[in-house]
């Protein structure tokens, strides 16, 4: 058992995710962070996963080989007295819904930019989710070993497009073939970059930083003087790093490097350790036990990481790919308490109790049984479908965290099973996948069709594969007449009035919430104007 107090254990945790546009280098950076943190010994371990993820068939294969879904899992390592939980988010944009949910379990995000490309569309989308959830952001500008954009132009882009104050911690000296290293802003130190010798497989050690005025041997021509000039401008032109402003989401510290060449990685890891916030206080509600009659209104509560009771929520459910087992692993992010193996936890909304005898900790190269865990940690809880995405778990069973967001799907299709005798199975299978959050499911009030919603086309393909493999169902997807789905909310009378006029387009989601299926975005706008008392929303918190 730990010798540290509960709050000490919590405050040494750093739970973070990496957000990036595909190809910016997230997988490579993940691997090099794990290397720098001592969690893996050689490059290559994570790479295989990254590359396999590119092609869907390979991706499915690797899921099968590992027996567990590799999407959005977590990697835990201890370094320099801190426990790091790196939440892995799938890079493919079709899985962005998964990514969004994973971000609800992160206390900080590393935003990776390609130094030649700057902010790309997916960076922007993910950034917006971080902002919505007040997640502070550390920026890492990657691929300095290639020809990069002007560093000031990159920082200006962060300032103007993200409305975020960039505070450069280091400043690069050239890029591409002429990359010499980087200087620590305001500190007069220089971190040299050592090029990989031709024909060598191993990356050279870049060496320790040294005073900039003693680093002449690393530069050619005017380069050193140019760097000194640039530093003067930088020190005058950008705000110095202010941790409070960073934690409040107004400022981002900017670091630079090359993930591929293991340059700038120690500096990044140190920034995460020093600056990323420990597990945050989470808003929650204390509910009456499910069996209570005339239950009083729930009591608002701030769950401190040092609270004695174990509490947390499920942000992802991963299905075992072994078709003979229906085991699921719920990824449980702890908000408070000291978890011990064998502990009993209760699901808030159902009151079901669970003995957590085989919780899993995900170390980079291995999965291990978790003997203990604290706020900020993510443990995998095997179960047979008792746990759903968005569920809150606690010792008392009374704590409820705000649900995870569901995002309005961008593609809506009708699904049909080829063998009509299997229609009943289809319903169960679709519900299972929707509970896991693979796709969303809408049941129209009229008729017997199911409408499946997804953010991207790939989700349908994964779904079709899984329906075949796990449930033995051969399905076809057909176009549906709908383009958009909106959750509706408002006074009962207003809702009934609206639903009465649009009955053929009304449906319910998996939690029986009313949804309006619009035939076009024009129609969404039209009904919103005609029924001003009804709220039409694009996201809904589950749970
Ligand atoms: P992801 O899609 O964001 O996970 O990106 P990957 O990590 O798979 O990287 C995409 C491509 O960029 C791969 O070919 C990497 O080898 C390459 N890459 C990643 N980081 C660097 C870097 O620092 N320098 C260079 N030159 N290439 C890099």
Average pLDDT over residues 302-309: 95
The sign one gets for the Cα dihedral 270, 274, 279, 280 is negative
Asked whether the beta carbons of 207 and 124 are under 8 A apart, the reply is: no
Average pLDDT over residues 427-439: 82
For residues 142 and 150, give the distance between their C-alpha atoms in angstroms, rounded to a whole number: 13
At 104, the pLDDT band (50, 70, 90 cuts) reads: confident
Average pLDDT over residues 87-106: 73
Measured by CA distance, the residue closest to atom 19 of ligand 1 is 25
Any ligand 1 atom below 6 A from CB of 259:
yes
Question: Which residues participate in the annotated binding site for GTP?
Answer: 88-92, 142-145
| C-alpha of residue 39 to centroid of ligand 1, in Å | 20
Return all residues near 120 (Cβ < 8 A) that are at least 6 apart: 21, 24, 113, 114
Residue-averaged pLDDT of the chain: 86
Phi first, then psi: give them for residue 275, nearest 5 degrees: -110, -35
Query: What ipTM did this prediction achieve?
Result: 0.99
- Three-state DSSP at 283 gives strand
| C-alpha of residue 82 to centroid of ligand 1, in Å | 27
Any ligand 1 atom below 6 A from CB of 91:
yes
| C-alpha of residue 342 to centroid of ligand 1, in Å | 41
Any ligand 1 atom below 6 A from CB of 25:
yes
pLDDT digits (tens, 9 = 90+) for 238-279: 999 999 999 999 999 999 999 999 999 999 999 999 999 999
- Please give the residue that has the higher pLDDT: either 130 or 324: 130
Atom of ligand 1 minimally distant from the CA of 28: 7
| C-alpha of residue 25 to centroid of ligand 1, in Å | 4
For residues 377 and 6, give the distance between their C-alpha atoms in angstroms, rounded to a whole number: 13
Any ligand 1 atom below 6 A from CB of 28:
yes
The pTM is what? Answer: 0.80
Measured by CA distance, the residue closest to atom 6 of ligand 1 is 25
Mutate to test the pocket of ligand 1, among 113, 123, 148, 260 (most ligand atoms within 8 A of CB): 260
∠278-361-41 over CA atoms, to 5°? 90
Measured by CA distance, the residue closest to atom 11 of ligand 1 is 23
Is residue 91 over pLDDT 90?
A: no
Asked whether the beta carbons of 379 and 334 are under 8 A apart, the reply is: yes
Is residue 31 over pLDDT 90?
A: no
pLDDT digits (tens, 9 = 90+) for 343-382: 999 999 888 999 999 888 776 555 667 789 999 999 989 8
| C-alpha of residue 26 to centroid of ligand 1, in Å | 7
For residues 373 and 377, give the distance between their C-alpha atoms in angstroms, rounded to a whole number: 6
Average pLDDT over residues 18-45: 82
Core vs surface per residue 171-183: b (16+ CB within 10 A) or e: bbbbbeeebbbbb
Any ligand 1 atom below 6 A from CB of 260:
yes
Atom of ligand 1 minimally distant from the CA of 261: 23
């Amino acid at each position: 058992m730990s010798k540290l107090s509960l709050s000490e254990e919590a405050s040494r945790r750093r739970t973070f995710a990496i957000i990036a546009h595909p190809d910016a280098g997230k997988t490579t950076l993940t691997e090099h962070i794990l290397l720098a943190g001592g969690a893996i010994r050689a490059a290559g371990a994570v790479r295989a996963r990254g590359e396999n993820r590119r092609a869907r068939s390979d991706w499915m294969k690797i899921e099968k080989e590992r027996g567990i879904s590799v999407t959005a899992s977590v990697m835990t390592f201890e370094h320099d007295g801190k426990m790091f939980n790196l939440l892995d988010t799938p890079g493919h944009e079709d899985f962005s819904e998964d990514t969004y949910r994973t971000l609800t379990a992160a206390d900080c995000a590393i935003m990776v930019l390609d130094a030649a490309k700057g902010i790309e569309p997916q960076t922007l989308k993910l950034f917006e989710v971080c902002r919505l959830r007040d997640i502070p952001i550390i920026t890492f500008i990657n691929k300095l070993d290639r020809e990069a954009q002007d560093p000031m132009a990159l920082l200006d882009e962060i300032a103007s497009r993200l409305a975020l104050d960039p505070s450069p911690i280091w400043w690069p000296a050239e890029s591409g073939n002429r990359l010499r290293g980087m200087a620590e802003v305001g500190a007069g130190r220089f971190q040299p970059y050592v090029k990989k010798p031709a024909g060598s497989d191993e990356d050279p050690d870049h060496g320790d930083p040294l005073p900039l005025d003693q680093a002449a041997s690393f530069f050619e021509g005017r380069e050193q003087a140019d760097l000194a000039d640039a530093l003067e401008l930088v020190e005058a032109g950008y705000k110095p790093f202010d941790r409070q402003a960073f934690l409040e989401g107004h400022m981002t510290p900017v670091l630079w490097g090359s993930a591929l060449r293991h340059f700038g990685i120690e500096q990044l890891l140190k920034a995460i350790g020093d600056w990323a916030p420990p597990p945050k206080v989470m808003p929650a509600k204390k509910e009456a036990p499910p069996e209570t009659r005339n239950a009083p209104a729930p009591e608002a509560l701030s769950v401190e990481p040092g609270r004695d009771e174990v509490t947390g929520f499920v942000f992802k459910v991963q299905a075992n790919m072994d078709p003979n087992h229906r085991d699921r692993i719920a990824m449980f992010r702890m908000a408070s308490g000291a978890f011990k193996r064998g502990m009993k936890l209760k699901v808030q909304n159902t009151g079901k109790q669970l003995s957590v005898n085989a919780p899993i900790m995900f170390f980079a190269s291995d999965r291990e049984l978790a003997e203990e865990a604290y706020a900020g940690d993510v443990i995998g809880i095997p179960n047979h479908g008792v746990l759903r995405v968005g569920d809150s778990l606690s010792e008392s069973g009374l704590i409820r965290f705000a649900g995870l967001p569901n995002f309005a799907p961008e593609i809506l299709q009708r699904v049909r099973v080829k063998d009509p005798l299997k229609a009943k199975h289809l319903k169960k299978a679709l519900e299972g996948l929707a509970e896991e959050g693979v796709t969303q499911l809408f049941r129209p009030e009229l008729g017997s069709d199911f409408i499946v919603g997804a953010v991207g086309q790939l989700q349908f393909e994964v779904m079709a594969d899984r329906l075949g493999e796990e449930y033995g169902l051969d399905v076809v997807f057909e176009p549906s007449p709908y383009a958009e789905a909106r959750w509706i909310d408002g006074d009962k009378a207003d809702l009934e009035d609206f639903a009465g006029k649009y009955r053929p387009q009304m449906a319910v989601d998996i939690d029986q919430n009313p949804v309006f299926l619009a035939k076009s975005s024009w129609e969404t706008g039209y009904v919103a104007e005609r029924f001003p008392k009804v709220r039409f929303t694009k996201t809904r918190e589950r749970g």
